[in-house]
Amino acid sequence: MKRTMKKLIAVLLAALMLASLGSVSAFAKTKSAAAGRGKVKTYNVVTSFGDSVAAGVSTSTYKAAHETKEAKTNYFVRVPGTYVDRVAKKVKAKKVYPLAQPGMRSEELRMLLCDDYKGDGHEAYVTNALNGYTSPGGKYKGKDPVGDYKKLRSLYQTAVKEADLITVGIGFNDVWFSILAAAVELSETGKVSDTPELTLFKKAEQLGSMGKALKQAEDALNTVMKITPYIPVITEAGIEAKARYFVNYRAIIERIYSLNPDVTIVSIGYHDALIPGEFDATNFLHYFAIFQPSFEAMNAYTRVRPTLYGEYIYVDMHGTETVLNSTETWDPHPTDAGHKYMAQQILKALPKA
């Protein structure tokens, strides 16, 4: 059974990869193809934007890094061993802005970088999900989470202006949260409203944490995926989220270049987040069929430089080891080895000195 499952997974993934590559123009080859041997170029200031993957969630050093003296006054601490940390060391960066946040979507990143963007109306739920990353110490006690969150704009935009190299790994939560929110509503009412994310946010308030709400949402997804008529509804939620992501991603990249035309941007491709290892993952094929096509489409979109100016490098991250494919834990985040691999992929793609 396991061998059959693994063969089927390989075939499906190969098909998806070929499909995404087929949609990309020939001129969209990555820098990694042309990268030769030699010492990597030096970048004095490195900035990292992204979600929990970029932040280093599930690495062996993440918890300790956030229990340091520095973390008591500054949430944005550098986590040793992450791909950001490893790349920064290799390029001899003198300053690092580790501004990735677990739970972050392209909506929030765009809102922080673009002063005139107000978001999609669901920031309150995501901002509360971030649970205080708007303030030192990681504990939010204010009454205006979105307003206070916007105060981070100065930090984020300064990090762009000063950067020589920026890594952007965002978008997983755009699809993940939308599908989970839709699953919650389907399990409770049999239909999806215009604002399913707000339903998920209310769940977090009722349960006392976003973590508990997401766990309940994952259980709901496992339930509704067994009901055939609900599969197209769930899939549509992912398609809509992906469409919004395309618009947001382009706006993010253009804004970065408008603030800093000379910066080098590294676009982090999506890894095989939902491929399990040597165990039989319940409903895995449904997960794969619903989520992976969206991730591959996002890869295809970001592979092609979304602007006509600036140094832009897309890095393919297929093959990254995750907790999911190396243990029996349902966790799509990269392991320590996964982050090492991601750093190597980035360094291969960067220009040589």
C-alpha angle 304-308-314 in degrees, rounded to nearest 5:
30
Q: Which of 277, 342, 320 is nearest to 9 (CA)?
A: 277
The answer to whether the beta carbons of residues 99 and 155 sit under 8 Å apart is yes
Query: Judging by DSSP bridges, how do beta strands 95-98 and 45-50 pair with one another?
Result: parallel
Beta-ladder partners of 267: 168, 314
Q: Is 305 exposed, middle or buried (0-12, 13-18, 19+ CB in 10 A)?
A: middle
258-305 per-position pLDDT tens digit: 999 999 999 999 998 777 665 555 555 667 777 888 889 999 999 988
Give per-residue pLDDT as tens, 95-138: 999 999 888 899 999 999 999 998 877 665 555 545 444 444 55
> Where is pLDDT greater, at 151 or 265?
265
User: Which candidate, 62, 51, 91, places its Cα nearest to that of 336?
Assistant: 62
- Alpha-helical (H) ranges within 123-281 are 123-129, 145-150, 153-162, 172-189, 196-207, 210-224, 230-259
Neighbours of 328 (CB within 10 A): 12
The per-residue pLDDT for 124 is 56
**Average pLDDT value for residue range 152-158:** 94
Distance CA 48, CA 109 (A): 11
Strand residue runs (E) in the chain: 45-50, 95-98, 165-169, 264-268, 311-315
Q: Which of 267, 269, 264, 249 is nearest to 316 (CA)?
A: 269
Residue 35: pLDDT over 70: no
Q: What integer pLDDT is reported at residue 319 of this predicted model?
A: 93
Residue 127: its pLDDT value, please? Answer: 58
Whether the pLDDT of residue 11 is over 50: the answer is no
Contact 220, 186 (CB under 8 A): yes
- H/E element holding 86? helix 83-90
Residues 34-41, mean pLDDT to the nearest whole number: 67
Neighbours of 301 (CB within 10 A): 20
Element (H, E) at 63: helix 62-65
pLDDT for residue 198: 78
Predicted model pTM: 0.84
The reported pLDDT for the residue numbered 235 is 83
Mean pLDDT, to the nearest integer, of 176-181?
Answer: 88
For the chain, how far is it from start to end, CA to CA, in angstroms?
Answer: 49
Quick one: pLDDT at residue 142?
67
* Residue 176's pLDDT band (cuts 50, 70, 90): confident
Q: Of how many residues is the chain composed? A: 353
pLDDT for residue 151 = 82
Residue 185: per-residue pLDDT: 93
Q: What is the pLDDT of residue 29?
A: 40
Tokens of 2: 């396991």
Question: Could you say which of 1.10.287, 2.30.30, 3.40.50, 1.10.490 is the CATH number of the domain covering 38-171+244-349?
Answer: 3.40.50
pLDDT bin (cut points 50, 70, 90) of residue 37 is low
Query: Closest Cα partner for 260 from 156, 109, 345?
Result: 156
Find which of 189-193, 202-206, 222-226, 234-238 is predicted with most confidence, using mean pLDDT: 189-193
Instruction: State the amino acid at position 230 in one-letter form.
Output: Y
